[in-house]
Amino acid sequence: MVLIESSAIVAKGLGCIFSEMGEFRLGAVLDDLSHSSILRLRQMDADVVILDPSVLGASSRASGRNLISEHSDAACVALLTGPSDEDTIRSFDATISLMDSPAAIVRKLRSTLEGRDEGSKPDSGDLSSREKEILICVAKGMLNKEIADLYNISIYTVITHRKNITRKTGIKTVAGLTVYALLNNLIDINSVE
């Protein structure tokens, strides 16, 4: 495994985590992606390359992953130490962040090598038709039990739907959800007066 990281603190820290956890071995730490670093990368023949995109200048950040795949077949994992761009991240096989636990880091690397990207896809954000139905009931002031009976589903399913509605819309209160439903023409103002 090769790490490309310019912060000595982060590089040493990650090295310690790997030696404590076993399973992965940090073969080399490069602090940039200069010509000599790339030569070194080619010689290493690593399974995984961990690249901190902030090592690269803002203009070359998006191409960092491509540069690595030109010179190595390794899986490429982004180490996020600062704000980064969605497009940049998408080009990587996985991402690890400074706040990940050692176990999480190892787990992510393992599943990357097994070819499964464990990062679940973000959902489209639109409410499903069932979620809309439930939202309408909530906006009308129905209780979870009443909604469960109406659709013949368990109260836990209703709660899960409500959690998903809140996650997607960012709206937590019943009054706020009612405003959402009204603005999106899911209900008529007369039905909540």
Partner 1 sequence: MPSADRPLILGARMKAAELLGADFYLLGVFSRLGIRLGFGEATVGELCEGNGIDTSTFLTLCRIHLVRDYIPSEEEIAKLDMGVCLKYLKQSHSYYRTIGLTALGKAMSNLLAPCGEKQKKVIRRFYDEYHAELEKHFAFEEEHIFPYAEAIASGKEPLGNFEKEFEEDHSNIGEKIGDLKNIVMKYLPAECGDQEIQQVLLLLCFLENDLERHTAIEERVLVPRISRGDTGNGE
Give the binding site for partner 1 (CB under 8 A).
169-173, 175-176, 178-180, 182-184, 189
> Which residue from 72, 5, 76, 77 is spatially nearest to 41, judged by alpha carbons?
72
Nearer to partner 1 by Cβ, of 25 and 172: the residue is 172
CB of 173 to partner 1, least distance (A): 5
Integer Cα distance of 150 and 53 in angstroms:
51
Integer Cα distance of 76 and 95 in angstroms:
9
Whether residue 50 contacts residue 1, with contact meaning beta carbons closer than 8 Å, is answered with yes
Nearer to partner 1 by Cβ, of 130 and 172: the residue is 172
CB of 131 to partner 1, least distance (A): 15
Nearer to partner 1 by Cβ, of 113 and 171: the residue is 171
Nearer to partner 1 by Cβ, of 157 and 169: the residue is 169
CB of 187 to partner 1, least distance (A): 10
Integer Cα distance of 21 and 12 in angstroms:
14
CB of 179 to partner 1, least distance (A): 5
> Which residue from 65, 164, 6 is spatially nearest to 156, judged by alpha carbons?
164
